[in-house]
């Protein structure tokens, strides 16, 4: 059973805003102080109304006007200072969570719904900022009024005050019970919203597949089911609040009617004057809004606690990859790469690579072939440390890659993935992705090498052409060539081509292959290919099977051996000529 509220985890993010909170608290105290003057002024006005003294009525009403004005200024101050502090806290929290997510490994994102992460970074953090804003000025102001105003009422007539507060313990208990139930329902509701968000992200990112398979009706049914679950979860929470307010409102009404009854009896016994009773009723009237807002704020407080828990669930995720405390920058490398008895498994007991050894000299072109699941993509994923092997080590220029910073390692490795990802931005920004300053000369040179310059310059804005999300306004071949340009723009000494020409037609493939042969000079290149025609000129072809190298050699040598590679090649050659 949880004892400590999740809100305590927000303190490190709230503390830096203490100057704004101090100013806001000062305004809150001023606001409550001037609120306390209002019941007294109401009693004075009532007294002179009874006497028919217009001058005194005007005087006290004028004084009340000044009090309302000053009270309003304090209210503005508490709102603006506390809102500023809450928004700054939410901004810092969002930055911290986003930065933390970037420290997590690929294994985390491969098993996490993107829509859920997006919802937590946006809606959940916004909700936390809003409740901190309300708690810091509304809730605190209401609590102070709920202390100060009853104290004034006790001063006026303590028997009447105690009688009016007789139902307060019952109201407090009911509010607490409703709040705990709301927390449970809010967790369920927000999880359903996250599921709905994840579904939308998944469908819209794969809309081409949805339409290709005429699966619109299927996706509509999935969406309707999730939307209905979301509606039910929200309805249960609203249903509980719909019960709460009439119950608490009824108790408030009973308390007020009891006050009128006892107040009339006190006046009849000459224990209370009419002026004091009007002042007392004005104080009671001032209590109604703080009570209602406190209930509302408490409900939101419990609902938002689920958001706080969801946010700090992300912060509790531990990175699967760590940099050593004194990791050094990887110097400019020559390109020697060695895998030394490397073993790796995504899941215990299911090895993908087993005791693998591999050595590449600078300038070598290493091709990896084999059936799906043989470990080709895993092997190249270990080089930029997307994952770490469970056994063995990987060296670049005789330096263990776990001894250097991840950033300096990855900046010296160019990667062209099989599935090209482009971002909203210009063509130049996509080629120089990750660089704050654009070197247009280097970008243009990389594009020319990748045979992308010709189609780029056909756009009216050229390299400043804006690409839509994921580059949907480009053909598959154009996207692939931009990815190749991106990989070589920084002149890396190590290049990884994961099916780099898979999206190109025969003519474009020939042009890119010719260009790649130029950029491969003096670089260590790893090629993962299913189309064996693209690996004929490799210095060494490694045939992988069940995570182990079973054959190695040049294209001609492996064909002469008549082994697995020869069978793969014969199958492709046969199918190509059918």
Query: How far apart, in Å, are the Cα atoms of 523 and each of 39, 55, 365?
Result: 84, 96, 8
What is the C-alpha to C-alpha distance for residues 481 and 133, in angstroms, rounded to an integer? 49
- Say if residue 562's pLDDT is above 50: yes
pLDDT: which is higher, 425 or 169: 425
Q: Work out the average pLDDT over 80-102.
A: 88
Among 257, 280, 42, smallest CA distance to 154 is for 280
pLDDT digits (tens, 9 = 90+) for 134-169: 888 777 888 888 888 888 878 877 777 776 666 566
Among 148-152, 303-307, 340-344, the range of highest mean pLDDT: 340-344
Confidence band, pLDDT 50/70/90 cuts, at residue 329: very high
Cβ neighbors of 465 (< 8 A, separation 6 or more) are: 426, 427, 456, 459
Lowest mean pLDDT among 99-113, 435-449, 460-474, 479-493: 460-474
Q: What's the first-to-final CA gap in the chain, in angstroms?
A: 68
Confidence of residue 337 (pLDDT cuts 50, 70, 90): very high
Contacts of 546 (CB under 8 A, 6+ apart): 354, 374, 375
Q: Packing angle between helix 506-519 and helix 440-449, nearest 10 degrees?
A: 120
Tokens for 452, please give them: 């992308």
Q: Is the per-residue pLDDT at 300 higher than 90?
A: no
Centre a 10 Å sphere on the Cβ of residue 335 and count the other Cβ atoms it contains: 20
Mean pLDDT, all residues of the chain = 80
Give the range among 236-250, 478-492, 552-566 with minimum mean pLDDT. 236-250
Residue 342's pLDDT band, with cuts at 50, 70 and 90, is very high
The residue written with tokens 């953090």 in the block is 125
C-beta separation of 493 from 524 below 8 A? yes
For the chain, the structural domain boundaries read 10-315, 328-412+527-578
**Regarding predicted confidence, which is higher, 447 or 214?**
447
**In whole angstroms, what is the distance from residue 378 CA to residue 499 CA?**
14
Q: Which residues pair with 368 in a beta bridge?
A: 528, 542
Q: Does the CA dihedral 196-202-205-207 come out positive or negative?
A: negative
What is the rounded CA–CA span in Å between residue 11 and residue 3? Answer: 17
List the structure tokens of 330.
Answer: 């990887």
Per-residue confidence (pLDDT) for residue 370, from 0 to 100:
83
Exposed, middle or buried by CB within 10 Å (0-12, 13-18, 19+), for 454?
A: exposed
Over its C-alpha atoms, the chain yields an Rg (Å, rounded) of: 35
pLDDT bracket for residue 215 (50, 70, 90): low
> pLDDT value at position 122?
84
Phi-psi region of 99 (alpha: psi -120 to 50; beta: other; left: phi over 0): alpha
Q: Phi/psi at 390 (nearest 5 deg)?
A: -80, -20
Angle between the N-to-C axes of helices 18-51 and 54-103, in degrees from 0 to 180, rounded to the nearest 10: 160
Q: Rounded mean pLDDT of 202-223?
A: 68
Residue 317 pLDDT > 70: yes
Q: What's the rounded Cα separation, in Å, for the pair 41 and 38? A: 5
Query: What's CA 502's distance to the chain center, in Å?
Result: 33
Give yes or no for residue 469 having a pLDDT over 70. Answer: no
Angle between helices 140-156 and 18-51 (to 10 degrees): 30
Residue linked to tokens 């490190």: 12
Say if residue 449's pLDDT is above 90. Answer: no
| Consecutive H or E run containing 335 | none
Q: Is the pLDDT of residue 339 over 70?
A: yes
Q: Please report which residue ranges of 329-439 form alpha helices under DSSP H.
A: 376-382, 406-410, 427-431
* Confidence grade of residue 276 (pLDDT, cut at 50, 70, 90): confident
CA distance 134 to 76: 14
Among 191-200, 292-301, 485-494, the range of highest mean pLDDT = 485-494
Angle at 321 between CA 487 and CA 414, to 5 degrees: 10
Model confidence pLDDT, tens digit, residues 368-423: 988 877 888 889 999 999 899 999 999 999 999 999 998 899 889 988 887 777 87
| Alpha carbon distances (Å) from 360 to 258, 374, 559 | 91, 20, 22
Q: Name the region of 541 (left: φ>0; alpha: ψ -120 to 50; beta: rest).
A: beta
Label residue 3 by pLDDT band (50, 70, 90).
very low
Structure tokens given for 554 = 């040049």
**What are the tokens at 335?**
């390109």
Q: Residue 350: what are its φ and ψ, rounded to 5°?
A: -125, 75
Which of the 8 DSSP states describes residue 434? T
Residue 467: per-residue pLDDT: 83
What CA–CA distance (Å, rounded) separates 557 from 566? Answer: 10
Cβ atoms of 488 and 446 within 8 Å: the answer is yes
User: Residue 59's Cα: distance from chain center in Å?
Assistant: 57
Question: Would you state the pLDDT for residue 169?
Answer: 61
pLDDT at position 1 is: 40
Question: pLDDT tier at 331 (50, 70, 90 boundaries)?
Answer: very high
Which positions ≥6 away from 156 have C-beta within 8 Å? 276, 279, 280, 283
**What's the whole-number mean pLDDT along residues 43-65?**
80
Instruction: In whole angstroms, give the CA distance from residue 143 to residue 297.
Output: 11
Q: Which CATH class is domain 328-412+527-578?
A: alpha beta
3-class SS of residue 439: coil
Q: How does DSSP assign 16-45, residue by residue?
A: GGHHHHHHHHHHHHHHHHHHHHHHHHHHHH
Other C-beta atoms closer than 10 Å to the C-beta of 399 total 16
- Joined tokens for residue 197: 């968000």
Give per-residue pLDDT as tens, 517-547: 767 777 899 988 777 766 777 888 998 888 8
10-315: CATH topology = ABC transporter transmembrane region fold (1.20.1560)
């Amino acid at each position: 059973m949880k004892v400590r509220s999740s809100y305590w985890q927000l303190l490190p993010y709230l503390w830096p805003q203490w100057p704004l909170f101090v100013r806001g608290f000062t305004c809150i105290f001023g606001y409550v102080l001037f609120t306390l003057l209002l019941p007294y002024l109401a009693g004075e006005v009532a007294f002179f109304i009874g006497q028919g003294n217009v001058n005194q009525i005007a005087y006290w009403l004028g004084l009340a006007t000044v009090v309302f004005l000053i009270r309003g200024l304090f209210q503005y101050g508490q709102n603006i200072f506390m809102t500023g502090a809450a928004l700054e806290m939410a901004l810092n929290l969002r930055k911290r969570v986003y930065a933390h997510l970037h420290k997590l490994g690929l294994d985390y994102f491969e098993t996490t719904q993107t829509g859920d992460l997006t919802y937590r970074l946006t809606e959940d953090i916004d909700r936390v900022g809003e409740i901190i804003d309300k708690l810091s000025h509304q809730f605190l102001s209401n609590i102070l009024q709920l202390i100060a105003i009853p104290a004034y009422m006790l001063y006026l007539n303590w028997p009447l005050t105690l009688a009016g507060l007789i139902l307060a313990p019952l109201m407090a208990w009911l509010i607490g019970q409703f709040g705990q139930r709301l927390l449970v329902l809010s967790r369920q509701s927000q999880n359903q919203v996250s599921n709905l968000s994840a579904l939308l992200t998944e469908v819209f990112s794969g809309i081409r597949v949805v339409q290709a398979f005429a699966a619109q009706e299927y996706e509509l049914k999935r969406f309707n089911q999730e939307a209905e679950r979301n509606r039910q979860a929200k309805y249960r929470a609203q249903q509980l609040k719909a019960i709460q307010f009439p119950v608490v409102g009824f108790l408030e009404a009973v308390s007020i009617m009891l006050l009128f009854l006892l107040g009339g009896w006190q006046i009849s016994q000459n224990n209370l004057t009419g002026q004091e009773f009007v002042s007392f009723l004005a104080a009671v009237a001032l209590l109604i809004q703080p009570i209602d807002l406190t209930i509302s704020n408490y409900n939101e407080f419990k609902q938002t606690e689920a958001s706080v828990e969801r946010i700090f669930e992300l912060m509790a995720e531990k990175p699967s990859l760590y940099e050593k405390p004194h990791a050094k920058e990887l110097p400019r490398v020559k390109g020697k790469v060695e895998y030394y008895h490397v073993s790796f498994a995504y899941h215990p007991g299911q090895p993908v690579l087993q005791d693998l050894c591999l050595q590449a000299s600078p300038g070598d072109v290493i091709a990896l072939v084999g059936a799906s699941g043989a470990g080709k993509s895993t092997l190249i994923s270990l080089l930029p440390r997307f994952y770490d092997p469970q056994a063995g080590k990987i060296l670049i220029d005789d330096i263990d890659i776990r001894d250097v910073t991840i950033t300096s390692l990855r900046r010296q490795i160019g990667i062209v993935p099989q599935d090209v990802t482009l971002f909203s931005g210009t063509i130049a920004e996509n080629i120089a992705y990750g660089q704050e300053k654009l070197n247009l000369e280097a970008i243009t040179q990389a594009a020319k090498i990748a045979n992308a310059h010709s189609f780029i310059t056909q756009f009216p804005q050229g390299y400043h052409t804006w690409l839509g999300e994921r580059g949907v306004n480009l053909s598959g071949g154009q996207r692939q060539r931009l990815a190749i340009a991106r990989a070589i723009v920084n002149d890396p000494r190590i290049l990884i081509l994961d099916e780099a020409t898979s999206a190109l037609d025969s003519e474009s493939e020939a042009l890119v292959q010719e260009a790649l042969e130029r950029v491969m000079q003096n670089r260590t290149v790893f090629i993962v290919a299913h189309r064996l025609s693209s690996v004929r000129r490799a210095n060494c072809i490694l045939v992988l099977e069940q995570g182990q190298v079973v054959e190695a050699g040049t294209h001609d040598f492996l064909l002469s051996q008549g082994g697995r590679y020869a069978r793969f090649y014969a199958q492709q050659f046969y199918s190509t000529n059918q």
